[in-house]
Structure formats: structure tokens, C-alpha cells
Structure 1
Amino acid sequence: MKLLQAGHRVALVDRSGDALSEALAGLDADRAMPLCLDIASPDSPAALDAAIRVRWEPASVLVNNAAISPKHAGKAADLEQVTAEEWRLVMEINVAAPMRLAACLIPFMRQQGWGRIINVSSRAGRSIANAAGPAYMTSKAAVLGITRSIASDYAQYGVTCNSVAPGLVETALTRAISPDLLATIRARTALGRGGEPEEIGAVIAFLASHDAGFITGACIAVNGGAFMC
């Protein structure tokens, strides 16, 4: 929503058609395009790029926001419980997919001399996390490394890459956490509440703007004071 308000056209990607329909409700159909793709598939970046080029021009802004954090009875698997398949799936969606998407879209950004890549990491990638296990925490730390790598390699072409590290945000993903643990996380947050998706979106929209042109390789904490640095 914040990107649309800032004047961007937005392609929304999800593997669920129902989720896309819900997200598109009330949005301008001329400026918001649904793409039903599974980003875990290595073929999805090329399909996304082709679909955007058919309807609009190639993408100048990429927001890597999709991620998973598997829960078991409201809690994450610890080191002794996490399975090889769960580890693989988390890394595929949270780490490999953002890398593939950036690799696919960045040639046009480089060619035109301007681009914005915003990777959504997490407080769990920077500090101790109450509701995240080793797979999720490792994946979100990796996102910070990807961000710095892209930022240093492509700054010379006018392409910036930054990350946003949210704390607790009130979303469907959050509702998979046990109520007692949710209450504990909110109590440990200086503002005493979880964030709203729009509050994260506002920071992403800024990083996607021309005004953020001198910011690259940064990690912006948006966590209500749960982790201060």
C-alpha cells in the first residue's frame, strides 16, 4: 500500500491465489498486478520478470519480503528438533529466492543506472529472538550478508540495496506463535505492542525512493525498541 501511495506500480507475488485476491481488495487494478508464483522454484524469477515486462517496463525496485518461519505447537524447532527438510525449505525461500530474484532483475537496474533493492531481514537475524529457531535466525542473518554484498558490488551502477529488520509485526505469520509467547514478546518491546504492516511498509517505501539515494548497505531496525543499537 505504501509503495502504491508513493506512486509505484506494484506486482504482488504469492503462491496462493486466495491470498493475492485478499491483498488486492480495494487496490487500483491498473497499478497493482497479482502474480501467482512459488518463489521457491528456480524458474519463478524469470516468470516474474517476463510478466512485468509484458504489462509494464522492467522492474526498477525489488522488495524481498516473502519468508517462512515454521512453528510446532506455536514454537520454533530448536537445534535438536529441526529437520533437514525444514532447514532446506527455510533456506530456499528466505535466502536462495531473494538472491535469485535480485540476480534476475538487477541487470536492467544496472543498465539504466538506477535501482532499489530492499531485503526484509528480522530482529532475529541481528539478536536473540523469542519465537525463531536456528533455521529462521540463520536465514535472516544471511539476508544481511546478501544485502551488504549487493550494496558493495552495485553501488557504482546507481543501484542501492538495504535491509529492514522488523521486530514483532501483527500479521498472519505472527498468529502462528503461541499466545503466551506473543504476550511475552509484546511486554519486552519498549512500545509495548507489535508493529503494523503499514509501519514496515513506510520504511520500505522510503528506501525505494530517490530521497534514499545516499543509503546503501544499511539495516534499518523497525522493532518498537525491542532491540536498540
Structure 2
Amino acid sequence: MSSTQQTPQRVALVTGAAQGIGLATAIELLQDGRKVVLTDLRLPDLSALPESLRANAFAQLLDVSDPAACQKLVAAIREQHGSLDILVNNAGISLKNAAGQSNGILDVGLDEVQKMLDINVIAMLRLCQLVLPGMKDKRWGRIVNVSSLAGRGKSIVAGPAYMLTKSAVLGLSRSIASEMGEFGITTNCVAPGRILTQMAMQAGEEVNQRYAQQIPVKRIGEPAEVGAAIRYLCSEAAGFTNGAVIDVNGGFLMG
């Protein structure tokens, strides 16, 4: 690229962005000069962003399991901003039982599995299908799907339903990466380990402390550390990183 050419301002959609990894990712992308649409089941509070970044941030309600709402939002973003160049599929759920734990293989219900599939996988696939045609037309796009350490190997606290869905995210992402790479569209995953989010706090402080002792860096991760990895995958420089998984887990998973 010559010095007289300027990279256009890319437009990003981040799901599950009211808090945690999604909010941290939005901040990272805004710092990288992107316009960012933050979505969640509750309206993201833009006052949580540094004031200097708010001019390029836009908050929208979105239930990712609602096909009509997803279609309407993607169309609205394209109409308002001219394009939708970056998709970060972060929204996800991990259902717990009355004791605050994940149901094991003999106790998990198919309705529970289906609900997690609908949010963690099917909604992700739907949003990818909605944004890919526009990316293909522009011959540029970045998709980052948030998987989990639970989809990469044995999990200490996640149950079979969550592990199943987060493993499926990896397969879905590889499929898109292989089919869409020739059009300048990269599709990658981050697989966070134990991160200080509301979801992780469901297990309780004692569980997290025990977990931290099994991590080589001896601590739980911060949302911003995952956001930084996603920022790279969404960057102009990441055009040759495709179908990859970045493990952000303090060294818990090696090999």
C-alpha cells in the first residue's frame, strides 16, 4: 500500500458487548480506529467506554437467537455506516443447575443442550451468513468467533453441553475460513481459559482460586487480555492468519 492510500474506517459488530470480554473487545477495536456497534440483551452502556472513544461507538439491543432481529440489525448497520467489515461473535451462555454447577452427562437435559446450541452455535452461524455476502463483495472481512478452553480440551468446571457447543464453534470457524479465505475474509477463533467475567463468577470464588493454582501463571485472566487477541485478529495485519485458534489461558493448555 502506498503512502497516499488510506485504509478505510472499518465497521465492527460485537455481540455480548455489555460487559466482560465483549466490552473489552469493543474498547480494543475502538482504540484501533474502528466504528463499533455494541449489542447485547441489555443495552450496552456507552458511558463505560473511555470518553475519547464514544464518538465511534453505537449501542443496540440484540437477541442473537432472534433471526429477524439479526437480519434487521445487519441491514441497519450497512445502511447507517455503509458496510459491516468485522464480526466478533462473543455472545454465549453456560447454563447452571440449582447448585450453581454444570450438569454432568447423566443429568444434562436435551432442552438444555438445545438452548446452548441455539445461542452458542446456531446464532453464530446465522450472523456469519448475514455478514459474509457484503464482505465477499468488498473482498475484505474479519470474523472472530469466541470459543473456549472447554472446546479445546478437558475442562475442570464446564459440563458436556457447553463443551459440545464450544467445540462446534471451532469446526464452524474452520469451515468458513477454508471457503471464504480467497475473498480476503479471515475467520479465526479465540479460546479463553478462566477469565474474570460474570460467567466465571457463577462458579464461586473458591472454585476460581483452586483453578488459578492449576494455571502456570497462577492467576485468572482479564477480559482485556482476550480483547487484545481479538483486536489483532481483526486488524489489517492479520490477513494471513486464517482458521487459527489463539489460546488465551495462561498456559493451562499446552501441546
Q: Same fold (TM over 0.5)?
A: yes
Question: Do 2:177 and 2:242's aligned partners in 1 also have CA atoms closer than 8 Å?
Answer: yes
Q: Aligned with 1:29: secondary structure?
A: helix
Aligned to 1:198: 224
What code does the residue aligned with 1:113 have?
Answer: R
Question: Do 2:63 and 2:70's aligned partners in 1 also have CA atoms closer than 8 Å?
Answer: no
> Which residue of 122, 127, 133 corresponds with 1:107?
133
Matched, 1:159 2:159: no
Q: CA deviation at 1:74?
A: 2.6
What code does the residue aligned with 1:42 have?
Answer: P
Distance 2:207 2:229 in 1: 27
Distance 2:210 2:48 in 1: 33
RMSD over aligned CA atoms reads 1.4
Distance 1:23 1:121 in 2: 28
Q: CA deviation at 1:53?
A: 2.0
Distance 2:251 2:54 in 1: 37
Q: CA deviation at 1:22?
A: 6.5
The 5 A counterparts of 1:1-229 are 1-17=27-43, 20-21=44-45, 24-27=48-51, 28-72=53-97, 73-229=99-255
Question: Do 2:46 and 2:57's aligned partners in 1 also have CA atoms closer than 8 Å?
Answer: no
Among all aligned residue pairs of Structure 1 and Structure 2, give the percentage whose two residues are the same amino acid: 41
Question: Do 2:46 and 2:54's aligned partners in 1 also have CA atoms closer than 8 Å?
Answer: no
Q: Aligned with 1:163: secondary structure?
A: strand
Q: Aligned with 2:180: secondary structure?
A: helix
Q: CA deviation at 1:71?
A: 1.7
Structure 2: which 5+ residue stretches go unaligned? Answer: 1-26
Distance 1:30 1:155 in 2: 32
The count of corresponding residues between Structure 1 and Structure 2 is 227
Distance 2:160 2:229 in 1: 27
What code does the residue aligned with 1:89 have?
Answer: K
Which consecutive segments of 4 or more residues in structure 1 shift more than 3 A?
22-29
Q: CA deviation at 1:128?
A: 0.6
Q: Aligned with 2:254: secondary structure?
A: coil
Question: Do 1:75 and 1:178's aligned partners in 2 also have CA atoms closer than 8 Å?
Answer: no
Give TM-score, length-normalised by structure 1. Answer: 0.95
Question: Do 1:115 and 1:160's aligned partners in 2 also have CA atoms closer than 8 Å?
Answer: yes
Choose 165-174 or 35-44, whichever is displaced more. 35-44
Distance 1:208 1:105 in 2: 15
Distance 1:146 1:45 in 2: 19
Q: CA deviation at 1:23?
A: 7.0
Distance 1:81 1:179 in 2: 25
What code does the residue aligned with 1:137 have?
Answer: M
